[in-house]
Amino acid sequence: MKTCVIIGGGIGGLVSGALLAKEGYKVTVLEKNAIIGGGLQTFKRYGVSFPTGMHVFGGFQEGGNLRKLFEYLGVIEKISLQPMDKNISDVVTVLSEGKTYQLPQGKEQYIAYLLAMFPAEKEQIRNYFDRIFELSEEEDLFYLRETSADHLSHSEDFLGSVNRLRDRYITDPKLKALLGYLNDLMGGVGDTTPAYIHALLSTLHINGTFQFIGESQQMADALAKVIENAGGQVIAQEEVVRIEVENHQVTGVLTSKGHRYQADNYISDVHPNVLLRIIDPQAFTTAFKTRVQSVPETVSSFKVFVKFKEKAFRYLNHSHFCLSDFEDNDLDFSGIQPSDWPRSLMFVTPPVAYQGEFAQTMVIISPIAFDWVKPWENTHTGHRGVAYEQWKQTMTDKVLAFMERLYPDFRDGIEFAFAASPLTIRDFYGNKEGSNYGFRKDSNNLMLSQMSVSTKVRNLFLTGQNVNIHGLCGVSLTAIETAEALVGHNTIVRKINENQWLKKQG
């Protein structure tokens, strides 16, 4: 029986482990935190559950890529999902205009709505979204298609910046800005973010989004069961502190508890900078280490978690994005001061079992610069001092004041509210500077942030959001690529599609 040790129990590690377990591997997942799951983790405050991440995601509609993957893994029946409202899936409010856009699901419905809002851009809107979907088709793994072992070439649009693509099709400046509302979910900067990231995320959202009903932890636990039922184990509070390497091959890993684990192969689901800190210094070249450490990170965020009083706020079966002005969705913080913040935010009301008319909780997320928390960057959770707590309360009040521009009586309905800063995200996930989406992809220098699932260490592989694309979809699809690096190219994609064929045959 082949064996694999996975360092980090986030989404990438768990999906990679579950896929390998189905291929006959004995998998051991080692997670530093008390709870597995990474962005799937859920925590409780005053008896109420809050998600740490994965607030909105796509791919689970009938025939969707993630639905196919998790059906193959046998966990789709073990998770509870709430589809967003088909008629109003994403809402975007521009406060300076006093205008709210209610975007539906489905490509044709989506386009028809925008045509009604911007009739002068009729031909441009159609051409733009046709191109967006064409770009998504260039990514075979996104559609779970078998691929050639050779690297595929991509179109100029695919690799160019979002702004360059948008400027070619759209002339109305307000429409251009509106089409960037998903920047909050990808750390998007118009002049540098590659168009393919925008295309894939837009396609996911247009095809339909979902939320977990209850705790997102349910998916992490279901994936762990796949691994355990195949004879593997998922161990929390077992932080890997050293990876031993000899002759370009990992020989074992040591944990903070003094335990040593060995396997045929190893997968790292931790941030590449964390990997470099714990692996034998001779494992990678100085040039590689310098490159990895120089890659800029995507923006972080300030999150406010709200528990409502009973029947105080109606449940929203959509995600809501709010901008001070049209141009405030570009997440370039150069020249922005804390006094000008927040410029934008998004919020959701996570559903619970037997969700009724009113929401129990809300999660509000606003992009923020890590530089603003640098005075406390050498502190740890729970030990940051009075000044930090005062700063965090000030920022929380600013977020709630922003919400009151939408809902004047918003604070009156709050039972309690608390916040997490970029430092919380950094310490919890191990991401450099509390980055929401890992390495920042730059269309002007794509090679800088490109990571392969294979490494120069023969039996060490990578997975997670820093390798290809972030989010539940991006990380899960990358996990397929990682697992196939061990079991054979196209092996798993072929089996996922065979499973779909058998399902259709009844």
Helix/strand/coil percent split, the chain, to 5? 40, 20, 40
How many degrees, rounded to 5, is the angle at CA 477 between CA 27 and CA 223?
Answer: 40
Query: CA-CA distance, 77 to 70, in Å (whole number)?
Result: 9
Find out whether 105 and 89 touch, Cβ atoms under 8 Å.
Answer: yes
Ranges of the chain with pLDDT below 70: 149-152, 328-335
What pLDDT does 464 receive?
A: 94
What pLDDT does 152 receive?
A: 64
Q: Side by side, which strands form the sheet with 233-235?
A: 233-235, 26-30, 3-7, 265-268, 460-462
User: DSSP code of 178?
Assistant: H
What pLDDT does 191 receive?
A: 84
Say which amino acid occupies 429.
Y
How many degrees, rounded to 5, is the angle at CA 68 between CA 141 and CA 224?
Answer: 100
Contacts of 399 (CB under 8 A, 6+ apart): 302, 304, 342, 345, 364, 366, 419
What pLDDT does 433 receive?
A: 86
Domains of the chain: 3-36+216-295+440-505 (3.50.50.60), 106-206 (no CATH)
Query: CA-CA distance, 256 to 13, in Å (whole number)?
Result: 19
pTM: 0.95
